[in-house]
């Protein structure tokens, strides 16, 4: 009876967080100005150096960690037995997450070789796919397999809708807020919903790394000037953002199951 009461409280809290997140998104979209996709300043980065014939060299090369962790995580997910993943719904989410991270390495490098409106989609779409899948895996773990998989389908649809909206209405706000919301909701839900696995603090560390990377991107030129033109804020943002999937990979390797939910046990011996 106590367990059922706790489950009802968790569902109530979850609904409040989801509704609150949606209302916050609407509020942000209403009060913020349009962010044009075709704005020339959007494609201007502080570090324009060219080494060995590679344009914007550091902004291109700092995507390499995404390729390493994306391919490694994808292989370990497919291989099975390496990560502590107890549900099929989680596997779908994590496989798509690592595929998106690996795709980001190619898409972002391609964009930074010649930053323009036509290439930015290849930088943005893998990010949206990766973090849609990540949020789905988080919900499978915290809220149940059915809720997480429904969320995966919905979020992937919104990801492609965001890209279409940016192209049609020349406005990046939907893409930008869609990237931010999972890393705001995950820390909140980490506190509100009980973890199924150990090492749940890695979710918070990964969220912190991603938010820090966003701050570094915003301070691109200031960071570049402050360190005497060694590395720009945007390049540091790539490295810091790559730390998020690295931390999550460590979590998957070392975590263990704390308890089984009633819904998770259905169909199992």
pTM of the model: 0.85
- Give the span between the Cα atoms of 102 and 20, in whole angstroms: 32
Q: List, for residues 117-143, the tens digit of each pLDDT value.
A: 889 889 999 999 998 999 999 988 888
What percent of the chain shows pLDDT beyond 90? 44
Name 251's bridge partners: none
Count of residues in the chain: 269
Class of domain 2-265: mainly alpha
- Give the span between the Cα atoms of 72 and 52, in whole angstroms: 28
- Give the span between the Cα atoms of 82 and 226, in whole angstroms: 42
Pair 137, 90: CB distance under 8 Å: yes
- Give 175's pLDDT tier (boundaries 50, 70, 90): confident
Rg (CA), the chain: 19
Closest CA relative to residue 216, chosen from 2, 39, 46 = 46
Structure tokens at 14: 């979850």
Pair 178, 226: CB distance under 8 Å: no
Query: Residue with structure tokens 């070392």?
Result: 254
Q: Is 195 left (phi over 0), alpha (psi -120 to 50) or beta?
A: beta
> For position 177, what pLDDT does the model report?
80
Q: First CA to last CA across the chain, in angstroms?
A: 23
SS3 184: helix
What is the CA 52 to chain-centroid distance, rounded?
Answer: 32
> For position 236, what pLDDT does the model report?
96
Structure tokens at 204: 């918070």
What is the CA 228 to chain-centroid distance, rounded?
Answer: 31
Count CB-CB contacts under 10 A for residue 7: 15
Among 112-121, 171-180, 216-225, name the one with the lowest average pLDDT: 171-180
Name 197's bridge partners: 257
Domain extents in the chain:
2-265
Q: List, for residues 177-189, the tens digit of each pLDDT value.
A: 888 778 778 888 8
Let me know if 120 is exposed, middle or buried by CB neighbors in 10 A (0-12, 13-18, 19+).
buried
More confident residue, 33 or 110: 110
∠ CA(190), CA(28), CA(206), 5° rounding?
30
Flag whether pLDDT at 8 surpasses 60. no
CA distances 34 to 118, 133, 177, 187, Å, are 19, 27, 12, 28
């Amino acid at each position: 009876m106590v367990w059922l009461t706790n489950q009802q409280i968790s569902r109530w809290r979850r609904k409040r967080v989801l509704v609150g997140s949606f209302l916050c998104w609407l509020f942000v979209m209403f009060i913020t100005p349009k962010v044009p996709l075709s704005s020339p300043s959007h494609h201007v980065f502080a570090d324009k150096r060219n080494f060995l014939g590679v344009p914007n060299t550091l902004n291109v090369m700092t995507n390499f960690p995404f390729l390493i962790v994306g391919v490694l995580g994808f292989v370990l997910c497919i291989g099975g037995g390496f990560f502590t993943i107890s549900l099929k719904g989680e596997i779908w989410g994590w496989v798509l997450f690592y595929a998106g991270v690996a795709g980001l390495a190619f898409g972002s490098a391609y964009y930074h070789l010649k930053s323009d409106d036509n290439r930015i989609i290849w930088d943005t779409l893998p990010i949206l796919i990766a973090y849609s899948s990540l949020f789905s895996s988080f919900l499978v773990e915290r809220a149940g397999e059915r809720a997480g998989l429904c969320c995966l389908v919905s979020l992937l649809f919104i990801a492609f809708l965001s890209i279409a909206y940016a192209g049609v209405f020349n406005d990046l706000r939907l893409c930008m807020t869609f990237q931010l919301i999972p890393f705001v909701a995950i820390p909140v839900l980490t506190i509100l919903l009980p973890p199924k696995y150990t090492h749940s603090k890695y979710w918070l560390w990964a969220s912190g790394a991603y938010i820090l990377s966003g701050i570094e991107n915003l301070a691109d030129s200031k960071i570049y000037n402050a360190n005497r033109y060694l590395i720009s804020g945007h390049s540091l943002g790539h490295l810091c953002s790559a730390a998020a999937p690295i931390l999550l990979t460590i979590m998957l390797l070392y975590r263990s199951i704390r308890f089984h939910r009633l819904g998770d046990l259905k169909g199992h011996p």
